[in-house]
Structure 1
């Protein structure tokens, strides 16, 4: 297990993080450039070596109900990778993390394009916006009801 000082040294390698002192000798590190409401990347790093890293925007890490990963037993390489992944996950929009661009055709060879943009899904006929949906499932259901199938 890395000591508090070792963890602190590793975290401070990430120049984009801003150190914030909190109570009982604990420190947080904020990522102010986050595209999300979440700004705290490292949470309550404690002198006893325990602490958390936010991984709520990632699927590769087991998290608690707040999206946090306990870093108490992480080695140096694991900690660096987790922090880099956390920063990257807060730097990309949902459309950048999971891009969608699909062409759908009907029986008359008319084409519509389904694209993920920002926090939603848009359907286009050429440059003309045909519909905006909150989820992929809603957009796909619309297209199927209109007689379109994905290529």
Structure 2
């Protein structure tokens, strides 16, 4: 496991991230060029080595919490750099985010990120709106849909 100082050195090597010291010795790093309302890439990096990286929009199979964060406590340098790179890329996307979801009856729904909301459309009709990608995905899965890839 990397120490706090090692993680800090890795994260500070990203010139596009802005450091923000918060309470209890924790540190956040923001990506001010984010194209969505989220700016925190690294959240509450703690002197004990615990911390989080925003991973909600990343396609990899990270174990993310309800805030869209992955815990980086046990990440290696390579894994930490990878998730930070992916996080920054996900916050830099210029193209509108859209995913098609399909059920066993071949019905499709479209998941779209519209102005920091996650909207689900059935054709031109708005089916549902969620504050997070994970919330929308949970709904789609409960309704028997899966990503169409």
Instruction: Show the 5 A alignment for 1:1-151.
Output: 1-60=1-60, 61-95=62-96, 119=114, 137-139=122-124
Deviation string 1:83-112 (CA, Å, 9 cap, x unpaired) is 0000000000453x5599xxxxxxxxxxxx
**2:18, 2:77 → 1: CA distance?**
20
Q: Normalising to structure 2: TM-score of the pair?
A: 0.66
1:63, 1:69 within 8 Å by CA — same for their partners in 2? yes
Deviation at 1:67, TM superposition (A): 0.3
**1:7, 1:78 → 2: CA distance?**
11
2:98, 2:113 within 8 Å by CA — same for their partners in 1? no
Matched residue, 1:112: none
1:58, 1:89 within 8 Å by CA — same for their partners in 2? yes
Runs of 4+ displaced beyond 6 Å: none
Deviation string 1:18-38 (CA, Å, 9 cap, x unpaired) is 000001111000000000110
- 2:123 alignment partner, SS class: helix
Pairwise CA RMSD: 2.6
Unmatched segments (≥5 aa) in structure 2:
101-111, 125-149
**2:2, 2:74 → 1: CA distance?**
7
- Structure whose alpha-carbon radius of gyration is higher: 1
